[in-house]
Amino acid sequence: MVGLTQGILDARRLPLVPIATPGAIAQLNGTGSLLYGVGFEGSQIVLTDTHNGRGTLMVQAQNTLGTVIGGYQPLAIDPTGTKIVLGLQNGLAYFQLAVVPLAVGTVTPATAAPGGTIQVRGSGFVAGITVKVGGLSANCSFVDAETLSCVVPALGAGAAPMSLSNPDGQTYSFENAVTVQ
| Tens digit of each residue's pLDDT (9 = 90 or more) over 61-113 | 765 555 555 555 667 888 888 998 877 767 777 889 999 999 999 999 999 99
Task: Identify the CATH number of the domain in which residue 34 sits.
Answer: 2.40.10.480
Identify the domain containing residue 61 by its residue range.
2-96
Both 12 and 61 in a single domain?
yes
Share of the chain above pLDDT 70, in %: 77
Three-state secondary structure of 105-137: EEEECCEECCCCEEEEEEECCCCCCEEEECCEE
Which of 71, 96, 121 is where one domain is finished? 96
The answer on 84 and 18 residing in a single domain is: yes
CA distance 163 to 55: 18
Domain termination residue (choose one: 79, 96, 113)? 96
Q: Do both 132 and 112 map to the same domain?
A: yes
Same domain, 55 and 122: no
The verdict on 78 and 115 lying in the same domain is no
Query: 0.85 cut: is pTM over it?
Result: no
Pairwise pLDDT comparison (3 vs 51), residue with the higher score: 51
Residue 167 pLDDT level (bands cut at 50, 70, 90): very high
Q: Which pLDDT belongs to residue 11?
A: 43
Per-residue pLDDT at 107: 97
Residues 107 and 161 in one domain: yes
Question: What band does 39 get if pLDDT is binned at 50, 70 and 90?
Answer: confident
Q: Looking at residue 141, which CATH number applies to its domain?
A: 2.60.40.10
* Final residue before a domain boundary, out of 44, 74, 96: 96
Q: What is the pLDDT of residues 84-96, one digit of tens each?
A: 887 776 777 788 9
82, 102, 125 from 77: Cα distances, Å:
7, 17, 18
Do residues 77 and 134 share a domain?
A: no
